[in-house]
Structure 1
Amino acid sequence: MGVALFTLGGTISMAGRTGGGGEVVTRLNGADLAAAVPGLTGLGMPLDIHDIEAVPSANLTFANILALVDSASRAVRAGACGVVVTQGTDTLEETAFLVDLVWPHTEPFVLTGAMRNPTLAGADGPANLLAAARTAASPAGRGLGALVVFNDEIHAARWVRKTHSTSTATFASPNTGPIGHVVEGRPRILTAPVRRRTPYPRPEALDEARVALHTVTLDEDAELVAAVAEASHGLVVAGFGVGHVPSELAGLLGTLAERMPVVLTSRTGSGSVLRHTYGAVGSEADLQRRGLINGGLLDPYKARILLRLLLAGGADRAAVTAAFADHG
């Protein structure tokens, strides 16, 4: 029994340079990555490597990730005690949450990557991969669902965010902090997240569950919002502060909420949408009266993932509202 390693590409695996601009493009495979990690041989168990077609994380889809979950599930059923996935960091917070919503096993599913590619001094990929493998191999990681391990910190998929474009400490959980740390090579879990799974959708149903995300900005254009929502089956609104929008937008959002789920979140990156503090037109209380669903503590990106999974699974408005009350 060992750890199953799945490699998707990303900065952690980009080593060679081509072209006059010296862009990093060449991909390292899983064996290359493992060979570059001092201490990985001391894991005490084998590493079962699965190289998946490398794509920039910006190109990953729900279907890609659900197929990865299927492959990882097969590895667990074959005896793997945990799973590690390396991928690009651009969408890692979203893929981690998607995995967490559908991962059915107690074995940990750990995602990691790098901010500095292997051609740079101080490349962080080897340390992140080692910490991730140790977390996946540890009994302490069981029952925690999908985790993001970066910079010797262990984050729950439910809370983690990418907070900086280049820093090696980019991943943080603003509402909670990390749930654990890797200390002297040993994963130490300080608090366990509550698991909240959602039904696994049919892959073909995802095409019938288009969910748009609109971030509200100063001097908002209602016609633009209407255009964004036109071809959608659901809408996530990233509102100001505690869940506010310009008053001119409130009526449109209420009309949209009559024909599809519209989820209200905050664009701030941490904190919760309120429920009954402000009552002006465009406030959180007003929007809820108009039929918008309160996203609670879920950030807009994670709210979109949850809403799309729910719609792909055939959830009606009552089920969507109940799910966001639970998850948010």
Structure 2
Amino acid sequence: MDIQKSKQLPKILIITTGGTITMTPDSTGGVVPTLTGNDLVRSVPDIAKYCECEVISFVSKPGASLNWVDLLGLAKLLNEKLADDSIHGAIVVQGTDTIEETAFIFDLLIQSDKPLVVTGAMRSAMMLSADGPANLLAAVIIASSNMQSQGTLVALNNEFHAARYVQKSHTGHLHAFSSPACGPLGCVLEDKICQFVKIERKSPLAMPKNEIASVGIIKAALADDDRLLKNIPALGYQGIVIEAMGAGHLPAHYAPYISEFSNKFPVVLASRVPSGPIFTHSYNFAGSEMDSIRRGAIPSGLLGSVKSRLLLTILLSLNYSPEQIKTEFHERTEY
């Protein structure tokens, strides 16, 4: 579908994948994905003031059901479309459950520096004060502007965030997304962009062409035993992320497992705390961050466990060596 108002308007690619923004009630009263990309664009006539649209309904799924086939297919499509000189920028519309992860994957894999915005909605299309139309219009305003070389952005509730730092921080509020490390990069007010912060985008990685690596996440908890740890080697993971307490601390009985695992596959040390980095040289008890790093764990910097898992998955799928993986984590997660 093309909305044409003026040849001088930028052309924006809008790709929809489903999510709450596309959901309407079924016979049970629960909501399911039903609306297409064209349906969404038609519901926001003001889009025509800012751009011409090329709309693609890629899949129709809840965000929680997106998989690597979907995501790599989306990344390939975005790379192809954004290489077209006639396309000014792109928007991906999806479920909010996994926006922080999907946006981070795009930030790693999209080669173009053209504006790329990911958006969705916290309220389904038929709910009172549904936020989807406003979020889509804000994403259009951002993608139609001169927002090049800022990496993938996430836009909801009139704010936009860097994919590297954004996280879903509430299950139901409209202001569900935050960036504890730096706050939002800016907002859309009176149909204009007000930007507070600019961050440098890291260089993109190559698109994986091999089978996608399998990486697991383990979350440490108070008085946890080692039943899960004992079974990790038999599960076939090619890498793991351990979600530690505080600044990178684990129960003392984790220590020998860190040594064992690090000799077999990469082990990344992240924190279960929503904000703040993994420390590297403050604590030195058994299970501390210094102890785990000395045993071979790779500190995740400011990246949480889910984004650390995605970065490690892509690096392993690109056949990076252990030393290359350590270097990439250091350069991409430093603070």
TM-score by length of 2: 0.93
User: What is the 5 A alignment of 1:37-116?
Assistant: 37-43=44-50, 45-78=51-84, 79-116=86-123
Contact 2:19 2:62 in 1 (8 A): yes
Aligned to 1:211: 215
User: 1:26 Cα shift?
Assistant: 4.7
- Per-residue deviation, residues 101-149 of structure 1 (Å, max 9, x unmatched): 111111111000000011110100000000001100101x111111000
CA distance in 1, matches of 2:224, 2:203: 35
Q: Which runs of 5+ in 2 are unaligned?
A: 1-9
Q: Which runs of 5+ in 1 are unaligned?
A: none
Indicate yes or no: 2:9 matched with 1:9. no
User: What is the 5 A alignment of 1:228-247?
Assistant: 228-230=232-234, 231-247=236-252
User: 1:236 Cα shift?
Assistant: 0.4
- Per-residue deviation, residues 154-213 of structure 1 (Å, max 9, x unmatched): 10000000001111110110111001111211122222222123422434331xx11111
Indicate yes or no: 2:285 matched with 1:280. yes
Contact 2:188 2:194 in 1 (8 A): yes
Identity %: 35
User: 1:269 Cα shift?
Assistant: 1.2
Indicate yes or no: 2:185 matched with 1:176. no
Aligned to 1:30: 37
Q: Given residue 231 of structure 2, which amino acid in structure 1 is its aligned partner?
A: A
Aligned with 1:154 (options 135, 160, 172):
160
Q: Given residue 13 of structure 1, which amino acid in structure 2 is its aligned partner?
A: T
> Which consecutive segments of 4 or more residues in structure 1 shift more than 4 A?
none
CA distance in 1, matches of 2:67, 2:171: 21
Aligned with 2:313 (options 303, 308, 317):
308
Contact 2:254 2:287 in 1 (8 A): yes
Go from structure 1 to structure 2 and tell me whether the alpha carbon gap of 1:6 and 1:229 turns closer, same or farther (over 3 Å shift): farther
Indicate yes or no: 2:326 matched with 1:321. yes
Aligned to 1:137: 144
User: 1:229 Cα shift?
Assistant: 4.7
Aligned to 1:225: 229
SS at match of 2:138: helix
CA distance in 1, matches of 2:301, 2:96: 25
Contact 1:102 1:197 in 2 (8 A): no
Aligned with 2:26 (options 18, 29, 45):
18
CA distance in 2, matches of 1:319, 1:201: 17
CA distance in 1, matches of 2:150, 2:249: 34
Q: Provide the alpha-carbon RMSD of the alignment.
A: 1.3
Q: Given residue 297 of structure 1, which amino acid in structure 2 is its aligned partner?
A: L
Aligned residues: 322
SS at match of 1:204: coil
Q: Given residue 214 of structure 1, which amino acid in structure 2 is its aligned partner?
A: I
Go from structure 1 to structure 2 and tell me whether the alpha carbon gap of 1:249 and 1:100 turns closer, same or farther (over 3 Å shift): same
